[in-house]
Amino acid sequence: MPWHPSLSVGVDFIDEQHKEWFRHAEKLFDAGKKGQAREYIGDLLAFLDNYTKKHFADEEEYMRSIDYPGLAEQKKAHASFIASLEKLRNDYEQSGGSLTVIISANQMVIDWLTNHISKMDRKIGEFANRR
């Protein structure tokens, strides 16, 4: 699942942070192909826990700086993702990396990266570029 230019938001630092997400998502998919997803999922969840919070804070600060009208909606989506991530992390710790958790992680990452970026984040770039 490589990053593709069609997913560009049009704000360099946001695009670079999104590319980092994609690099880690690809590692999970590669690990799955090799039958090593169980070993990698803990690393991915730790990365997501730290990097996602930083990315969301950076993105929200940028939206504030440009008076982006969709900030409240973005913050709500970010909070929802963080809550889902925490649940997934708890499920992982309780199950020891079950197949269900691995599949859930894959689905969550794919949905977020494709849907959120292409629908919500792209609007940030469109707004910024109109200013």
User: What range does the domain containing 116 cover?
Assistant: 10-130
Q: CATH code at 80? A: 1.20.120.50
- Cα dist. 85→52, 105, 117, 131 in Å? 10, 8, 17, 34
Domain count, the chain: 1
Please report whether residue 19 resides in a domain.
Answer: yes
Say if 102 falls within a structural domain: yes
In a domain, 5, yes or no: no
List, for residues 70-126, the tens digit of each pLDDT value: 999 999 999 999 998 888 888 888 887 777 777 777 788 788 878 899 889 999 999
Specify the pLDDT at position 10: 93
The reported pLDDT for the residue numbered 9 is 94
Is residue 89 within 8 A of residue 96, CB to CB? The reply is no
Residue 4 lies inside a defined structural domain of this protein: no
Please report, for residues 28, 64, 88, 131, the alpha-carbon distance to residue 22 in angstroms, rounded to integers and kept in the order given: 10, 25, 19, 29
Within-domain flag for 120: yes
- Residue 116 inside a domain? The answer is yes
Whole-number Cα distances in Å, 40 to 1, 6, 22? 16, 28, 15
Instruction: Provide the pLDDT confidence category of residue 1 given band limits of 50, 70 and 90.
Output: low
Give this prediction's pTM.
Answer: 0.86
Distance CA 126, CA 131 (A): 9
